[in-house]
Amino acid sequence: MKDRIYGIETEFGCLPPDSDPFLSPDFISVKTKDWVFYREGLGIVDIHYRGRDEPPGNGGFLFNGGRVYIDMGHVEYATPECSGLFDLVASDRAGELMVQRALEQLDLAETASFFKNNIDHYTGATFGCHENYLVRRDVPFSQVLLPAMLPFFVTRQIFAGAGRVGCHTDVFEYGSAEDEGVSFQISQRADHIVTEIYQWIQFSRAIINTRDEPLADWGLYRRLHLLVGDSNMMEFATALKVGTTALVLQLLEEGIVPEIKLLDPVQAIRDISRDMSFRWEIQLEDGSYTTAAEVQREYLDLAERYLRGQDEEGDWVLDEWRFVIDGLTHDPGSLVDRVDWVAKKWLLERFMKEEGLDWHDTWVQSLDLEYHNLNAEKGLYFDLYRRGLVKRVVDDEQINQAIASPPANTRAKARSQVMRALTGQKARYVIDWDSIYVEDEKYLNLDDPFLTYEREADEFIRECEQGPVEDI
């Protein structure tokens, strides 16, 4: 899609070995981060504070333009800035391979595991998959963008949900989880969303995070930061989740605003997730009822009318969006190769039938988690992958290239170029998304993420190599 920058941040869950109490998830995550930088040499670590919770050495930028760091005990990977949808998918998959290869090189892959999911079944914890979209500053954020996007995000889970066994309930507000009687639902994050819009992530998980931190030119852009999405194993689901969101944002930037308002978005997101009849009925603000599929179809029809034919990626999204909504309407099972929750439900139901189990068996909960295991020899997703039952949108060569190489058409290219030049030098540096500082007050501005800054990066590197000018 034109004029869009995307990024995804993924927090990986970690299950340590039962046999060694000293190998905690925190310890394994830190060792993994260290391996990425110090042994694999895939980037350079921060040597400065990035905030009160990120001391020097907590993480760093990668040569692919992204970041690896420790956040609340989790190893977290942020993709580089991407302007191509399939570049983003390849970069997202590259993060999976980085952390899994580190675990293997640490000789921990047989007993410990990383998971690309959002929940555990033991503590009620949730960890995020955060999407980032650059949007134009001149689009009224609170008056137009937020209310127009809420119905889309509430209903997007019907094809973007990763699926989960059971539920989570805040006992202080809704009663106990045992009282809910939920066997399976389509989204992992739905139960953990407590409000529509909020600024601070740590205090209230909202559908849309309103913190204004563009990491780019403040006068031109803001960054839409989302907490509502699940971590997807399916490449197709990641591409469709991000691609459809980008098209809706483009509609709003062009002044085309869907007239859809939900009565209670937070309740609706839970109701949709838990409705295994697949009717997904929700109430609108005017008291009438519709379905999640029909809400998605309204956004799709507008995008089809105004955005068809502008570029190949956008047309791919429109084609697949309609295919998936039609499939969900008539036969969700037909999307087993594209949609994570459909694939997971199919796998678990086959297993339960063979073993004579029900949804409340802890074995089924364990298999729910194993769907997301990044170890290709253990993960249930990878079993589908090996059998050719998964629709690919990128190939292995693209993913491997995205481990060490940045996208060729964003500022990530300049960041990578400068970082490689700094490798092995003793100069002190501060690297950020939108700028790079090197000692002696050398500064490179990268506040336009659409530019590659090749000439500026070359000049900056030459300036850094000259060193400080000595007084005579």
* Contact partners, residue 17, CB within 8 Å, separation at least 6: 23, 108, 111, 112
- Letter for the amino acid at 222? R
Distance, CA of 457 to chain centre: 29
Place of tokens 């420790």: 70
Whether the CB-CB separation of 265 and 151 falls below 8 Å is answered with: yes
Token pair belonging to 320: 């697949």
Q: Closest Cα to residue 100, out of 381, 352, 391, 450?
A: 381
Residues comprising the chain, all counted: 472
Q: How far is CA 82 from its chain centroid? A: 13
Closest CA to 282 of 169, 194, 156: 156
Token code pair at residue 51: 């905030």
Smallest Cα–Cα separation from 295: which of 333, 269, 334, 332? 269
- Give the residue numbers annotated as catalytic, written as ranges: 71
- Burial (CB count within 10 angstroms: exposed 0-12, middle 13-18, buried 19+), residue 286: exposed
How far, CA to CA in Å, does 308 sit from each of 136, 247, 318?
21, 10, 8
Query: What are the helix (H) ranges across 309-411?
Result: 312-330, 340-355, 362-370, 380-386, 396-404
Quick one: 178 exposed, middle or buried, by C-beta within 10 A (0-12, 13-18, 19+)? exposed
The type of residue at 293 is A
